[in-house]
């Protein structure tokens, strides 16, 4: 806990120093220093996606178009494998919708911090809401050390890493052998740390435990990825219910 | 250099995917950011990040295959423990990613 407090305090102090300096440049620097682990995690996955997409018959322009317009890793993998098995357009789009519906919860959670801004900026920000950028930005917003500008830098740095690595994968990914340097574990390790950032008290730990257990059970029963949304809603609702009942 | 042929079906798929992915990202921000939300909803949304990260992570560690089955003897799970401790001690996202990758790489080459 002391580590966390020191970390928050120093980050906050630094952000105050930077803010006096003001300007776009510092926002970009702060955003990039928050974004680089995401970018590092996206590179192997983007490359892997590019390789698979190329094998499924997509050319680099289509790969780029998909990474720009969709920008949601797991659904892109699923879409490409469905395309290669000859699935219909409508069923691919419906599957994508189901897989990416979890972003609805993430944007709702971020909306709490974004009252003072224009619709235009919010629309731009919405484009970059992914599992990873959500967790990085949400943590900082809840510590009051973050603004929408820095969050936009995080989103777009991650976006550039994703688009560029997936296109490179489409061209040359077949030369990179699987499992090199443990790159397959990059996002898992990132989620471990992001989860720890969220465990700010007993209620959050209980929520995480319930969500984890329920997600495992549901993932074994239901095919697909609906277990993520179902387990999250179940855990948050249960813990809130217990809290309300205990306070009564 | 060959002429790039853009398959029409693929383009429609990509456009459709883009639309159904963007709307759930955009809609709550438009709907909720300018209103005063009821307290229970704010409290509920406050729990969502911990829930969703755990729901994304834990099945990744303890299940495997298609269809999924429990798999406790896999490096994904065992590497998670030292990675977890490192993250807890350092609170460093970048450091955790690098340590996790190195440990997973070692675990894979040992097994």
Average pLDDT rounded to a whole number, residues B2-24: 83
Question: How many Å lie between the alpha carbon of A24 and the closest alpha carbon of chain B?
Answer: 23
Q: What is the pLDDT of residue A177?
A: 61
Q: What is the pLDDT of residue A13?
A: 52
Q: What is the pLDDT of residue B2?
A: 40
Is there a contact between B15 and A69 if contact means CB atoms under 8 Å apart? yes
Average pLDDT rounded to a whole number, residues A183-204: 87
Chain B, residues 16-35, CB within 8 A of chain A, namely: 16-18, 20-22, 24-34
- Nearest chain A residue (CA) to B77: A188
Would the pLDDT of A47 be above 50? yes
CB of B13 less than 8 A from some CB of A: yes
Positive/negative CA dihedral, A108, A114, A116, A117: negative
CB–CB contacts below 8 A, A to B: 296
CB of B55 less than 8 A from some CB of A: yes
How many alpha carbons fall within 13 Å on the CB side of residue A244? 11
Would the pLDDT of A179 be above 90? no
- Nearest chain A residue (CA) to B38: A112
Would the pLDDT of A111 be above 50? yes
pTM, to two decimals:
0.76
Render pLDDT for A128-137 as a digit per residue (tens, 0 to 9): 999 999 999 9
Average pLDDT rounded to a whole number, residues B91-107: 90
Confidence category of residue A174, pLDDT binned at 50, 70, 90? low
Asked if A171 and B62 touch (Cβ cutoff 8 Å), the reply is: no
Q: What is the pLDDT of residue A181?
A: 67
Asked if A155 and A128 touch (Cβ cutoff 8 Å), the reply is: yes
Q: What is the pLDDT of residue B1?
A: 36
ipTM for the predicted complex comes to: 0.86
A157-166, B21-30, B61-70, range with the lowest pLDDT? B61-70
Identify the residue with better confidence: A242 or A51. Answer: A242
CB of B81 less than 8 A from some CB of A: no
Confidence category of residue A60, pLDDT binned at 50, 70, 90? very high
End-to-end CA distance of chain B: 45
Is there a contact between A216 and B59 if contact means CB atoms under 8 Å apart? yes
Identify the residue with better confidence: A45 or A243. Answer: A243
A158-167, A185-194, A229-238, B66-75, range with the lowest pLDDT? A185-194
Confidence category of residue A12, pLDDT binned at 50, 70, 90? low
Please choose, from the candidates A222, A206, A168, the residue with its C-alpha nearest in 3D space to the C-alpha of residue A51: A168
What are the phi and psi torsion angles at B69 (to 5°)? -140, 160
Average pLDDT rounded to a whole number, residues A197-208: 93
């Amino acid at each position: 806990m002391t580590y966390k407090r020191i970390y928050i305090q120093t980050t906050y102090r630094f952000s105050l120093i930077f803010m006096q300096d003001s300007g776009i440049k510092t926002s970009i620097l702060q955003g990039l220093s928050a974004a680089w682990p995401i970018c590092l995690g996206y590179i192997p996955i983007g490359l892997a996606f590019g390789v698979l997409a190329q094998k499924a018959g997509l050319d680099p322009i289509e790969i780029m178009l998909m990474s720009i317009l969709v920008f949601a890793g797991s659904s892109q993998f699923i879409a490409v494998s469905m395309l290669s098995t000859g699935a219909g357009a409508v069923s691919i789009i419906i599957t994508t919708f189901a897989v990416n519906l979890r972003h609805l919860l993430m944007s709702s959670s971020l909306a709490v911090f974004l009252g003072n801004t224009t619709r235009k900026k919010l629309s731009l920000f919405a484009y970059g809401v992914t599992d990873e950028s959500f967790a990085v930005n949400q943590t900082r917003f809840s510590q009051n050390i973050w603004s929408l500008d820095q969050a936009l830098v995080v989103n777009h740095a991650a976006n550039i890493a994703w688009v560029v690595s997936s296109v490179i994968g489409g061209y040359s990914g077949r030369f990179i052998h699987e499992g090199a340097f443990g790159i397959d574990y990059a996002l898992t390790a990132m989620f471990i740390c992001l989860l720890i950032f969220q465990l700010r008290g007993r209620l959050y730990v209980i929520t995480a435990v319930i969500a984890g257990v329920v997600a495992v059970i549901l993932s074994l029963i239901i095919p697909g990825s609906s277990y993520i949304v179902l387990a999250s809603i179940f855990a948050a609702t249960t813990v809130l219910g217990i809290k309300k009942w205990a306070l009564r | 250099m060959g002429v790039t042929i853009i398959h029409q079906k693929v383009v429609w798929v990509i456009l459709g995917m883009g639309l159904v992915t963007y709307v759930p990202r955009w809609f709550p921000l438009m709907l909720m950011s300018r209103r005063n939300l009821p307290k229970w909803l704010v409290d509920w949304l406050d729990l969502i990040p911990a829930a969703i990260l755990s729901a994304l992570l834990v099945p990744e560690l303890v299940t495997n295959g298609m269809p999924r089955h429990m798999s406790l003897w896999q490096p994904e799970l065992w590497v998670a423990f030292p990675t977890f401790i490192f993250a807890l001690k350092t609170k460093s996202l970048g450091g955790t990613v690098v340590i996790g990758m190195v440990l997973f790489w070692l675990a894979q080459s040992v097994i």
